[in-house]
Structure 1
Amino acid sequence: MTDPRTVRRVVTGHDSAGRSRVVDDRNVEAITSALMPGFVAYQLWGRDEPPAFPDDGSPSDVETWFPPREGSRFLIITHGPEGLAPPPGVDTAAATAELERQMPGVLASMEPDGSGMHVTDTMDYLLVVRGEATLELDDGERAVLRPGDVVVQNGTRHVWRNYGTEPCTVVAVAVGADRRPPRTENADVGVRS
């Protein structure tokens, strides 16, 4: 990667005779936000429906940052260390609108208290490739992750923090899922519902 603001993406597909071909080879531009210094994201690929082959390799128009049921997203995300503040004079309304344009639905998934906690109807597979990430869950439970560590995030309420001194980069695949009401115990009769 020569330019830190782009990631090269090579896409294969099938030609009219069914042979495999490279159908796209280009750089994907970084998503950044004045609201989140040190944050860089790349939406490398996404589908809002399951794949079917043969496929000509054309990109799919996706409407939201997080995939719907049966959809998927392929992402690289970098978080700067905790404590980085937006530069003085940032136009918060304009920066918020730009972030919503670049990452539709992300802000709506965040809890309104500003904590960064959120829940998505996705199963996420994440690999830490640089730095240190802390996954925080309900009741303050934490898992500290370093390069080579992976997380399978099963639609739980969570937030990512970077308490380290350098940026943390994760590679992630998000797969859309169904959310069902939680199973509860009936203490009187011992029946699960």
Structure 2
Amino acid sequence: MKISAIPRRIVTGLKNGRSLIVEDKKVTNVSEHLPGLLISDIWATNSMPVDLTQELLIDNTLVPDPPKQGSYFRYVSIPPDKDLGIPEMIANKAHPLMHKTDTLDYIIILSGELYLILDEEETLLKTGDIVIQKGTNHAWSNRSDQPCVQLAILLDATK
């Protein structure tokens, strides 16, 4: 497994009533689900309101499943579709990575570009764009020649 972009995580805490850094290191739970598709679930919670004394790290999964009443904080580097063996999209054919989660997702494009594909339409996202994804069927399609890096916060949701 070749992992080239491992995010750094800084965690703050309290000691004797004073704030301090309790962790500053590269994350260790980075996985490559498909060649070049890197996912690291940076942090998770399992309750709302959040218990700040608890540390909860989870196994990276291709399709996220946050704990009930919890959240994921996810780093994703998405390679070009051609590097994943995904052919150019054919009209009226679903993207092979189409999926749906029962989450409210806040997604920020940090670098590169990719398409957000929905059942009825798609849109090109570029660096700095923000997506509020509300439990819809969707896929990410990188039709460029460079990886796209996104950060996502996924919150357990109900319909």
Above 0.5 in TM-score? Answer: yes
**What SS does the aligned partner of 2:136 have?**
coil
Once residues 125 and 21 of structure 1 are traced to their aligned partners in structure 2, the CA distance between those partners, rounded to angstroms, is 27
- TM-score, normalised with respect to structure 2: 0.80
Q: Percent identity?
A: 34
| Structure 2, gaps ≥5 residues long | 86-93
Rounded Cα–Cα distance in structure 2 between residues aligned with 1:114 and 1:142:
11
Tell me by how many angstroms 1:178 deviates: 0.9
* Matched-pair contact (CA < 8 Å) for 2:43–2:57: no
Q: How far did residue 21 of structure 1 move?
A: 2.2
Structure label with greater radius of gyration: 1
In 1, distance between residues paired with 2:13 and 2:50? 11
Deviation at 1:117, TM superposition (A): 1.2
Please tell me the residue identity of whatever aligns with 2:123.
A
- Deviation of residue 18 (structure 1)? 3.2
Spell out the pairing of 1:8-19 with structure 2 (5 A cutoff): 8-15=8-15, 17-19=16-18
The one-letter amino acid paired with 2:41 is Q
AA paired with 1:149? D
Q: Distance in 2 between matches of 1:52 and 1:130?
A: 30
The aligned length equals 145
Per-residue deviation, residues 43-97 of structure 1 (Å, max 9, x unmatched): 11111212446x34x52154774213321111110111112247xxxxxxxxxxx
Q: Residue 32 of structure 2: SS of its match in structure 1?
A: coil
Aligned to 2:83, what secondary structure does the other structure show?
Answer: coil
The corresponding residue for 1:189 is none
Could you tell me which of 56, 59, 64 is aligned with 1:60? 56
Question: For residue 69 of structure 2, what is the aligned residue in structure 1?
Answer: 70
- The superposition leaves residues 118-138 of structure 1 with CA deviations (integer Å, 9 ceiling, x where unpaired) of 110100011111111101101
Distance of 1:137 and 1:146 partners within structure 2: 17
